[in-house]
Structure 1
């Protein structure tokens, strides 16, 4: 790594590494919500992150987006309490242009008041979207209760009242930019295939004239907390009770032994290998999730643990368990062996996260933001090596005291939660903590033969040859075991069986090792494996540092070939699956709920109709014998394929293949037919659910598949219409950028589950049947019809007109380069390589780039003409006032767009609004169905 500090104070860190021609460019502004010291302007650091994409003096308006899309860059940004980071990943040849446009927006940002007010609307939309998540609501109330003076009192989003007034803060926004976006307050990190001398020259040329002038704000010092605090947080949706037991922590001090020792407590006391986790999550199953949070911060923040408690009446007892564990830490030193395991986990976890330019820059950015340099990395690990059990005990005594605690309890508004917990028993009176399992402990169920004993199969060979992707320079080894079984194979009345079987493989015991013992072995490796089920496939995948390839390989193979199917694991994972439907899917993400309902409607009557997790009633009906029988039928050596990638040894492929060959032979038979019925007219399902916004999805089945030129032609056009999480999307420009209605708007021709948490498409989601799908992220309820009309109109116009020559050429240039970001890691490349076998395609991404470079406008528009329409579609809406929305849909009257007071819109935008507000909906009463949220996926 090479460092440079310009005369104006700007710091530049350059990290050359082999990266297949890719470069990652991060601009880290050491300003976050902690710097919002004036009253009435909380959330402005995050808001300004949005404004930085509004253009600059030399690249006004949409010119910035056009340049970034023209080079196919993956560009985004995020804001935290302590800093704001802007990042781009692109091809090395485009570095000069990236430096030019980034330098211009950081020195000469230019935006007008109408654009400012539009963006304020989008930010408020993002806030409203977050209100459906109990986590967002919990953290907002927790921070408000825990802090009195320090600006950590508000979240990164800010107080809602301040967000609502953002459209009035145009003048203030100019001062914010001048104060905080100064060279002394910014660090640039460039990693990848770079020539450091060339980078240095470019940065000095483009940033050298940037005028200094940063003055650090006087962030109020939080007074010492002297008494425990509590806050009750009623939640309007449905959720398991969430208990947060937090303590005032410390700022990042990489050379301070006590501070670094404190950060090991998260894993020692509350992690998956801790006695408390074993007791509450695995053995007694009173807690569904237990999360530790001991993060780095610039100033003393909050450290502690969060628990999702299954029984509201048990919340205070769980709190007592947590407090007793903390008291025990203060009284007794931890075992040296467990501390050594945490030390190993932290080191290998860091190393395993540094394989691509974007990962390297992204993991260094927080350290740079908090300390101004990366020297803290080596200093932290040097300090970690010195930490002793006595240091951990001292850290607990210093930070984790009752007087420094804040306990927050979030619960559904109608849930009764007991009063405050009694004080935790003194350590001398507390029961001895649970003992962690020894690595040889097997689950109790293993000692009892399953209901139908299975004879060990003689060793054989896998029917499918392994997919091998050796990368000798990669320090990691990626494992992917694909099984040709998915939710389409669930028996009627037992929907969710494929997913529950896979969960018991990925998160359950084996015949040799109890699940807690498996976690204990994986922990020092900083590795893990898990199973993911889609409609057609199950994938068991994991990744490990090559130092542990043999031990990890034994564990993941045993999970697949010798699952224990222990009763305790079955009950735990079945309970989690039901909770996911009843709480998470129904009540924490309206947009994911809406997309699931869309698929249910579009594939009604086919095995694709139900979600992978099944239904509540079906999960209740599934027995452990069902799981064992399903496993025997589908997990055979004729039905399994192996993939390996990275820096593995020469003997590993044969070893793993031979071990998987111990699975019995057997062909489960042909896959079920998937023949969805095309909708006639616009068929609407409205899910009635409390909430401040309306989520919108619509689509219809298509029969286009990877490998054909028509697929890549349609992909290009659909990407132009709505590329995922990218401002190049036309829908994004119309709905979000021009009108500020929501957070984003996208379109797809392949399934893209959990899109809100992904930047690029997932692998392991190969399907024989797909939807043309449009996803409109939540909008204000009174703007729902306008947003729906706007999206339907754009789809109709695309279907009728196709792409123009300019749109075609511009988007093709973008996509040919942008596709390089879909598989930057070896694990991602392996995932695509394994999926290629399903589609019988030789290198999907390479073929996509090659084909798109060859496509003609006529081919693209022919595909559009054949497949893109908005007349016959399924529409899924999630909203609070379902009947009112249904009535408005059927009535078809105008739905005018309203803007914040004082907003100015271009005459052409207002003229277009008049057209959109009256765009024909064509929905009859019999085409609308209202479903209460409590009935969705119930049976």
Structure 2
């Protein structure tokens, strides 16, 4: 297959601001999305969650736009806006009709240069974030995931929730938030992605006029502590009110810069994508010990985790389920990998890859993610790399990453059952 993006261009302004453009005249829409290379990965103990809290404050006004005006302008022009914070980045986007999208540039430039930090608004947003955190900890999956990630990492900042800890969010000051903003929100630490119904030459002139005057800054390079190899299995048992037990088994996983990343993507599909997937077929249909099972694998700057998660049927022995999951992993190591199964997994990877590129918003999100983590040219190599993953590479990746020793196993059981309460990430 030949899937090449020959119509995507990269421009870099004199202040280091990167602009990625792709004309798409199929619909009269333009999406603008700005990506800052800062997330929870660059947060120290004491200020965890500060990137996410800053994201909230970026909608609370700037020197030019009063509180609520950004959302008002978006609504008045019939558009949409939103934002999200990850471990490795923070992103903001607008989608407008192509005859009225230009306010997005002015808003993003003003947010980059002169966001307002009203103390009353800051306290209100702090409470909003704390409520989000409490809701996450009150949910079975949220509590279990936080406990597992906390246990899986001992040194790397990935151990902390993106949203932060209750203690840190409660104690962070508006001055610390401003310092975080001044450190990382700069043209030379960000990428603007524009996709939609416009002319590239005109757009670049507009971007230059709006963003080109913003000075570059010295961006700090925090020393991110590498995580030592985990050599033994860690077990976390969490007790909560729950009608069914839950399993969240985390294995070390490669970063986007590791060639093993592609084999793990294939394993992700082999194990849990669709009703023919190995875990679903064995645990849900044949043994009937789980009502649902899935895998999760995020793209991250540093090595993170590959999750197997699911809900057990009532009164099923957790140990039995663990043994069945382990048996399916062993089959990846030692059993046959039929061509038909590999072909299905490849097709699932490629179908998802292409489906994630349908709308202007989809395209802006994918191009921004690629550019932020490894360069948008990744698109042009992805198909070939997935198609070249062999059965031997899958076995090698499973042998390297999906070993019980070195994994973190999280079990959530009904609070009336026996089990040791783990140390939750409160600080």
TM-score between both structures, scaled by the size of structure 1 = 0.43
**Contact 1:183-1:210 at 8 Å conserved across structures:** yes
Aligned-partner Cα distance in 2 for 1:17–1:210: 28
Question: Which residue of structure 2 lines up, in the alignment, with residue 42 of structure 1?
Answer: 48
Question: Which residue of structure 2 lines up, in the alignment, with residue 15 of structure 1?
Answer: 22
1:219 aligns to 2:224 (yes or no): yes
1:200 aligns to 2:207 (yes or no): no
Q: Relative contact order, CA 8 A, sep 6+: which one is greater?
A: 2
**Contact 1:107-1:210 at 8 Å conserved across structures:** yes
Question: Which residue of structure 2 lines up, in the alignment, with residue 5 of structure 1?
Answer: 12
**Contact 2:39-2:87 at 8 Å conserved across structures:** yes
**Contact 1:333-1:393 at 8 Å conserved across structures:** no
Aligned-partner Cα distance in 2 for 1:138–1:249: 19
Q: Which of 153, 161, 165 is the matching residue for 1:147?
A: 153
**Stretch moving more, 60-69 or 391-400:** 60-69
**Contact 2:289-2:316 at 8 Å conserved across structures:** no
In the TM superposition, 1:485-504 aligns within 5 A as none
**Contact 2:23-2:199 at 8 Å conserved across structures:** yes
- CA displacement 1:425-447 (0-9 Å, x = unmatched): xxxxxxxxxxxxxxxxxxxxxxx
Cα displacement (A) at 1:63: 3.0
Question: Which residue of structure 1 lines up, in the alignment, with residue 314 of structure 2?
Answer: 311
Aligned-partner Cα distance in 1 for 2:413–2:115: 44
Cα displacement (A) at 1:305: 0.7
Question: Which residue of structure 1 lines up, in the alignment, with residue 384 of structure 2?
Answer: 382
**Contact 1:249-1:300 at 8 Å conserved across structures:** yes
SS class of match (1:123): helix
In the TM superposition, 1:464-479 aligns within 5 A as none
1:330 aligns to 2:333 (yes or no): yes
Cα displacement (A) at 1:228: 1.0
1:358 aligns to 2:361 (yes or no): yes
Cα displacement (A) at 1:99: 0.6
Change (3 A) 1:19 1:111: farther
Question: Which residue of structure 2 lines up, in the alignment, with residue 163 of structure 1?
Answer: 169
Change (3 A) 1:125 1:355: same
Change (3 A) 1:280 1:41: same
Aligned-partner Cα distance in 1 for 2:204–2:359: 21
Question: What's the RMSD between the two structures over aligned residues?
Answer: 1.8
SS class of match (1:221): coil
Cα displacement (A) at 1:412: 2.5
**Stretch moving more, 16-25 or 49-58:** 16-25
Cα displacement (A) at 1:417: 6.5
Question: Which residue of structure 2 lines up, in the alignment, with residue 65 of structure 1?
Answer: 71
> If you compute each CA radius of gyration, which structure gives the higher value, 1 or 2?
1
Cα displacement (A) at 1:20: 2.8
Aligned-partner Cα distance in 1 for 2:356–2:16: 30
Aligned-partner Cα distance in 1 for 2:278–2:213: 57
SS class of match (2:352): helix
Name the count of aligned residue pairs.
Answer: 411
Change (3 A) 1:336 1:88: same
Question: Which residue of structure 2 lines up, in the alignment, with residue 592 of structure 1?
Answer: none
Aligned-partner Cα distance in 2 for 1:318–1:249: 22
Aligned-partner Cα distance in 2 for 1:370–1:11: 14
Q: Which of 14, 17, 25 is the matching residue for 2:32?
A: 25
Question: Which residue of structure 1 lines up, in the alignment, with residue 425 of structure 2?
Answer: none
**Stretch moving more, 386-395 or 4-13:** 4-13
* 5+ long unaligned stretches in structure 1: 419-939
Cα displacement (A) at 1:312: 4.4
Aligned-partner Cα distance in 2 for 1:312–1:206: 62
**Contact 1:19-1:356 at 8 Å conserved across structures:** no
In the TM superposition, 1:544-563 aligns within 5 A as none
SS class of match (1:403): coil
In the TM superposition, 1:524-539 aligns within 5 A as none
SS class of match (2:269): helix
- CA displacement 1:806-830 (0-9 Å, x = unmatched): xxxxxxxxxxxxxxxxxxxxxxxxx
- CA displacement 1:136-169 (0-9 Å, x = unmatched): 1111101100000000111111112112223xx1
**Contact 2:269-2:348 at 8 Å conserved across structures:** no
- CA displacement 1:144-203 (0-9 Å, x = unmatched): 00000000111111112112223xx11101110011112222111111111111211111
Question: Which residue of structure 1 lines up, in the alignment, with residue 299 of structure 2?
Answer: 296
- CA displacement 1:880-918 (0-9 Å, x = unmatched): xxxxxxxxxxxxxxxxxxxxxxxxxxxxxxxxxxxxxxx
In the TM superposition, 1:614-763 aligns within 5 A as none
Aligned-partner Cα distance in 2 for 1:112–1:244: 41
